[in-house]
Amino acid sequence: MAEITYDVLGIGNAIVDVLAPAEDAFLEAHDMVKGSMTLIDAARAEELYTAMGSGAERSGGSAANTVAGVAALGGRACFVGKVRDDQLGQIFAHDIRAIGVDFHSAPATGGAPTARCLISVTPDAKRTMHTFLGACVELGPEDVDEDLVAASAVTYLEGYLWDPDSAKEAFIKAMGAARAAGRKVALSLSDSFCVDRHRDEFLDLVEHHVDILFANEQEITSLYEVENFDDAMQAVRGHCEIAALTRSEKGAVIVAGDEVHVIDAEPVDQVVDTTGAGDLYASGFLTGLTMGLGLPECGRMAGIAAAEIISHMGARPEVDMQALMKEKLG
Amino acid sequence: MAEITYDVLGIGNAIVDVLAPAEDAFLEAHDMVKGSMTLIDAARAEELYTAMGSGAERSGGSAANTVAGVAALGGRACFVGKVRDDQLGQIFAHDIRAIGVDFHSAPATGGAPTARCLISVTPDAKRTMHTFLGACVELGPEDVDEDLVAASAVTYLEGYLWDPDSAKEAFIKAMGAARAAGRKVALSLSDSFCVDRHRDEFLDLVEHHVDILFANEQEITSLYEVENFDDAMQAVRGHCEIAALTRSEKGAVIVAGDEVHVIDAEPVDQVVDTTGAGDLYASGFLTGLTMGLGLPECGRMAGIAAAEIISHMGARPEVDMQALMKEKLG
């Protein structure tokens, strides 16, 4: 068996976020569904960007945020994703490397520009996202190195990868390589609309291929098309080795066979922007897991990491995360 | 005399800021002078960017920040500056328009990319800037429309324009057009090192061409090569119609012929990032002035605007500035 070089290998859409505050009226005027992620084309991206207020650009992308969090927490992390050789692509590559993640995916030299996600943050701290996938559609199985997957304790995949066709193939290849090497496969369901788009395939993934599942309440109830959280929890418990189900301010429930751990949400002084909450939850959880901690401790680390990210704008950590964990966990 | 379309026309370097937190040791390791602005070439920009932590990109530029602040305060503002037709250029154009500034300068279609300023923000909230001027060197007199200048109550010029040669020509053309049309010329000295580079020419500007001067303590003492603030204040009082001299937490002194107004600094809960403090001071002052307010009221507006900008990362307003002024001034 190959040596483990990385605790977590993340594969996902490589995206630069454009964050701008917005009023609820702005969402209504532009037919936006609060809290959701909608895929848009270049023309709609242009239209929405023109309508948006002055923004701040920060590297984002769901799995990219997660591995950035893992690296910030002291884990060994690697990312696979596709940018173009443009300015936003350079920003993405700089930021993920600067936080300590290895990132070697070759940028696309033609085609669409680096992906961007237009994020409207309303006064209630909820984020509404519109993603122009751009160069992410160029990610394909050729970008997945099976040796790299075999050298990673956990391969973490975002459900959003199911949207661009060739990225889905990359996803499947990585998943197969992880299984073949006896490594763990982790999946984030990403978004309830994403679950809607790919429900049958996601059910198959969860039932047969995924070891560690991350989902929030909306996503897991959407997956099983059930009315309430408890039914969803019962449905998932036989399937994955571990399911970490998040419920915002109600905390999270971690289900692992017969084990069920209910973990309170970490208190937050002021929730500023929920962008990245789920991503950083996964960072904390997977870092704990690859450190060999028990599930309640993993859940606690996850909650602390999520609490940090929602206390400020943007989906990448802004404080010394290792010091934060020491302070909180002692 | 032409009708006045704009309260303030700003002409300056069109720059996107890359803000990242940094420790003092980082400044030392890279021979940076805290609080200063250093011009760098593309190679040094690449080197420093690689060394910097994960950042957030926001539109910046001194005069651009000032007119953005004027627009946020309800003034009619226009900006002239040069970006390239690249992603950072699009971000710059979007952000300045989104805040309500008219911006019609044609982007460069070749040559260097849009300018960026690498800003290291240390825990003491001081910012240390390294600017790659990029496309700003393409700004020239052809970009200055004399009718536009004549239609603007105040033409606001940043001292930094004296760095790229053809931008200096643009500066001189704009100044001449403003004088010819009987409009006011305002100048920010920008930075004490910038004053060092251009002292003789800046002295000539201040003595013969500028109506409203903005300078901080370091800049004005550097200009007159005097030891202390009082000597500098005495030196400048005969020259400009109005000189607004800022002293950080010591507040500001406004000198206008025989009038001298000492204005306390506005209290700030937490100083997070001083980037843009001087720029937004000028926004508040010029907005007050073009509204017809007295100098003490202009100084108060200036201080409130500066206090807002230093309470968060970035040099563009993040709150409803008109509501803030109403709240503070009644």
State pLDDT tens for residues A221-235: 999 999 999 999 999
By the CB < 8 Å criterion, does A270 face chain B? no
With CB atoms and an 8 Å threshold, state whether A58 touches B57. yes
Q: Tens of pLDDT along chain B (330 residues)?
A: 679 999 999 999 999 999 999 999 999 999 999 999 999 999 999 999 999 999 999 999 999 999 999 999 999 999 999 999 999 999 999 999 999 999 999 999 999 999 999 999 999 999 999 999 999 999 999 999 999 999 999 999 999 999 999 999 999 999 999 999 999 999 999 999 999 999 999 999 999 999 999 999 999 999 999 999 999 999 999 889 999 999 999 999 999 999 999 999 999 999 999 999 999 999 999 999 999 999 999 999 999 999 999 999 999 999 999 999 999 998
Residues 6+ away with beta carbon under 8 Å from A3: A151
> Whole-angstrom Cα distance, residue A22 to residue B149?
34
| Per-residue pLDDT at A1 | 62
Count of structural domains within chain A? 1
Residue of A21, A55, A94 lying closest to B95 (CB–CB): A55
Length of chain A: 330
Q: 179-218 in B: which are within 8 Å (CB) of A? A: none
Strand partners, B259: B256
Residues 6+ away with beta carbon under 8 Å from A110: none
In this structure, what are the phi and psi dihedrals at residue B187, rounded to the nearest 5 degrees? -135, 135
Instruction: Assess contact for B284 and B321: CB atoms under 8 A.
Output: no
Is residue B316 assigned to a domain?
A: yes
Nearest residue to B273 (alpha-carbon basis) of B302, B245, B315: B315
| Per-residue pLDDT at B113 | 98
By the CB < 8 Å criterion, does B118 face chain A? no
d(CA A318, nearest CA chain B) in Å:
9
Is residue B1 assigned to a domain?
A: no
Strand partners, B58: B17
Is residue B90 assigned to a domain?
A: yes
At B12, the amino acid letter reads: G
Residue B261 burial (C-beta neighbours within 10 Å; 0-12, 13-18, 19+):
middle
Which chain A residues are Cβ-neighbours of B275 within 8 angstroms? Answer: none
| Per-residue pLDDT at B1 | 61
By the CB < 8 Å criterion, does A58 face chain B? yes
Is residue A203 assigned to a domain?
A: yes
d(CA B26, nearest CA chain A) in Å:
14
> Whole-angstrom Cα distance, residue B84 to residue B92?
10
Is residue A297 assigned to a domain?
A: yes
Mean pLDDT, consecutive 10-residue segments, chain A of 330 residues?
Answer: 91 98 96 95 96 96 98 98 98 98 97 98 96 97 98 98 95 97 97 95 96 97 96 92 97 95 96 96 98 97 98 95 95
With CB atoms and an 8 Å threshold, state whether A86 touches B86. yes
Q: Which of A67, A79, A87 is best to mutate for the B interface (most B CBs within 10 A)?
A: A87
By the CB < 8 Å criterion, does B47 face chain A? no
Q: Residue A178 belongs to a domain with what CATH number?
A: 3.40.1190.20
- Interface size between A and B, measured as CB pairs under 8 A: 64
Nearest residue to A302 (alpha-carbon basis) of A261, A258, A272: A261
Task: Look at strands A184-188 and A152-158 and give their pairing.
Answer: parallel
With CB atoms and an 8 Å threshold, state whether B94 touches A57. no
Is residue A46 assigned to a domain?
A: no
With CB atoms and an 8 Å threshold, state whether A88 touches B87. yes
Element holding A202 (H helix, E strand): helix A199-208
| Per-residue pLDDT at B177 | 98
Which chain B residues are Cβ-neighbours of A52 within 8 angstroms? Answer: 94, 98
With CB atoms and an 8 Å threshold, state whether A94 touches B49. yes
By the CB < 8 Å criterion, does B117 face chain A? no
| Per-residue pLDDT at B238 | 85
Is residue B270 assigned to a domain?
A: yes
Instruction: Assess contact for B11 and B174: CB atoms under 8 A.
Output: yes
State pLDDT tens for residues A88-135: 999 999 999 999 999 999 999 999 999 999 999 999 999 999 999 999
Per the structure, the complete domain to which residue B297 belongs is given by 6-12+62-111+137-329
Is residue B143 assigned to a domain?
A: yes
Nearest residue to B242 (alpha-carbon basis) of B253, B255, B229, B251: B255
**Which chain B residue has the Cα nearest residue A58?**
B56
Reported ipTM: the value is: 0.94
Which chain A residues are Cβ-neighbours of B96 within 8 angstroms? Answer: 54
| Per-residue pLDDT at B295 | 98
Helix (H, G, I), strand (E, B) or coil at A259: strand
